[in-house]
Amino acid sequence: MISEIAVALLRTCGADRVPHSGRTLLDHLTGTARILDSWAEPDWVVHGGLLHSVYGSPAGGRPLLTPGARPVVRSVVGPSAETLAYAFAHRAPGAFPVPDSPELRLGDGSTLTVDAPLRHALADVYAANLLEQLPRLGLAHLADARPTLRSLTPFLSPAARARCSPALPPGWLA
């Protein structure tokens, strides 16, 4: 279930006024969270997905909140969801956890320890983020995401795999 308090936080930060992929950032974030919720993800993953770009994105998305707001975000969605949102937003471009490494490289050069649940959550949020934008942007716009999605395929939940497989062309998943 999507937290109305978290949605209110996004509105307070102006997510309902920021354009994103042919609609508002708030629409995109709630759409991503709805996809995760439909996959029966735990609340912390749904809320991490809801806030996945609140701190910006490796692609240069404008942050709504600075890292200094992390305690406030934690108080709204809990520490696991906040860590997921922070890791997703602050990962170095092209960096995602790999099977042999317990660390995620962040954009500032530091690393974040990634356990199995966080690794799986990052993969599912990445997939939900793509699927949410697919109807508006099309595969051509999202083609740069293909190698990352392929590398994350082993970490996708069964529900994410089931939803991605018919939506994406052959070869997008490993």
The pLDDT of 124-151, averaged and rounded, is: 86
**pLDDT at residue number 29:** 96
Residue 39 near residue 160, CB atoms below 8 Å: yes
Percent of the residues in the chain that have a pLDDT greater than 90, as a whole number: 56
Residue of 85 and 144 predicted with greater confidence:
85
Task: Tell me what pLDDT residue 4 has.
Answer: 94
Say what the pLDDT of residue 101 is.
76
- State both tokens at 65: 């909140």
In Å, how far are 52, 100, 101, 116, 129 from 57, measured between CA atoms?
A: 8, 24, 22, 22, 12
What secondary structure does DSSP assign to 71-116, as a single string? HHHHHHH-HHHHHHHHHHHHBPTT----TT-SEEEBTTS-EEE--H
Mean pLDDT, range 42-70, rounded to an integer: 91
Enter the pTM of the model.
0.93
Q: For residues 8 and 142, what is the distance between their CA atoms, to the nearest angstrom?
A: 29
State the average pLDDT over residues 46-73.
91
With CA atoms as reference, report the closest residue to 20 among 34, 32, 38. 32
Which range, 53-62, 139-148, 151-160, has the best average confidence (pLDDT)?
Answer: 151-160
What average pLDDT does range 118-137 have in this prediction?
Answer: 91
Q: What's the pLDDT at 99? A: 62
